[in-house]
Structure 1
Amino acid sequence: MKCFNHEADAIGICKHCQRAICKDCCTDLGFGLACKDTHESDVSMLNSLIENNKRAYESQPKATMFGPLFFIFMGLVFSYFGYQKGLDNLSFIIGVGFIVYGIAIFVYNKLFFKKVTTEYET
């Protein structure tokens, strides 16, 4: 493989433009090669996006808890006030619905995240 600028042998591929580059045309950024004086900032930005996505993915299990906990909490509040006025009250029924929905979301998130984690690791 030859450098796209020269006829010299290429040592790698620019992470931004995907062209073959020789040692005179490249800059090693430690996390990928870039065309010298052309794509260095683009490759740095690309790598920062990748790092941000990794951090977001790692925090995902915690984020999946907020929705179900909110619905269960609201279900408990509605159920409590509905129970105070009688079990046939609409508030009690809505509260039970919130609790069931919160539990269903919790179970779905756990199963989905387990599946995604297994696929991501393989």
Structure 2
Amino acid sequence: MECINHEVQAKGICNNCGKGLCSDCIQFTPSNKLSCSEECTSEITIRETVVSQTLNKTKNSALSGAYGSYVLGAIFIWFGFYTKISELQLFTITVGVGMLAMGAFFHYAAKSKSKQS
């Protein structure tokens, strides 16, 4: 692959448009990625911002799900212990334990998302 501006062998490829770049044409984004122009640098920066915001929202959603599951699990377990209907006791306690397990899963997922960002 040749450089888009010079007839020499390309040393890198723009992360946005895929054009070949020689060592004289290479520009770096703030995150140290290769780009061929200010427009491509801007596009790469915007894309990285969107990805970062999406990961943050995903983490927050998982935490909300975890806390909601913990609360519902506790309510189901409490109701299971204080109800007088034996068939209902087993069902509500089982659902409560399942909700607590689901909360733990969401909590783990949120923690792993925060390590990625």
Q: What is the TM-score when the length of structure 2 is the normalising length?
A: 0.61
Secondary structure at the residue paired with 1:38? helix
Work out whether residues 3 and 22 of structure 2, in 8 Å CA contact, stay in contact via their aligned partners in 1: yes
For the residue of structure 2 that corresponds to 1:39, the secondary structure is: helix
Q: Partners in 1 of 2:87 and 2:92 — Cα distance?
A: 10
Letter in 1 for 2:97: V
Aligned to 1:35: 36
1:101 is aligned, of 87, 95, 98, to 98
TM-score of the aligned structures, taking structure 1 as reference length: 0.59
Does the 8 Å CA contact 1:74/1:98 hold for their aligned counterparts?
no
* Local SS of the residue matching 1:97: helix
Name the CA distance, whole Å, in 2 between partners of 1:104 and 1:51: 28
Q: Which has the higher contact order (CA 8 A, sep 6+)?
A: 2
Distance 1:68 1:58 in 2: 15
Unpaired segments of 5 or more residues in structure 1? Answer: none
Identity, in percent, stands at 19
The one-letter amino acid paired with 1:33 is L
- Counterpart contact for 1:74–1:95, Cα < 8 Å: no
Q: CA deviation at 1:73?
A: 1.9
Tell me, in whole angstroms, the C-alpha distance in 2 between the residues paired with 1:94 and 1:55: 36
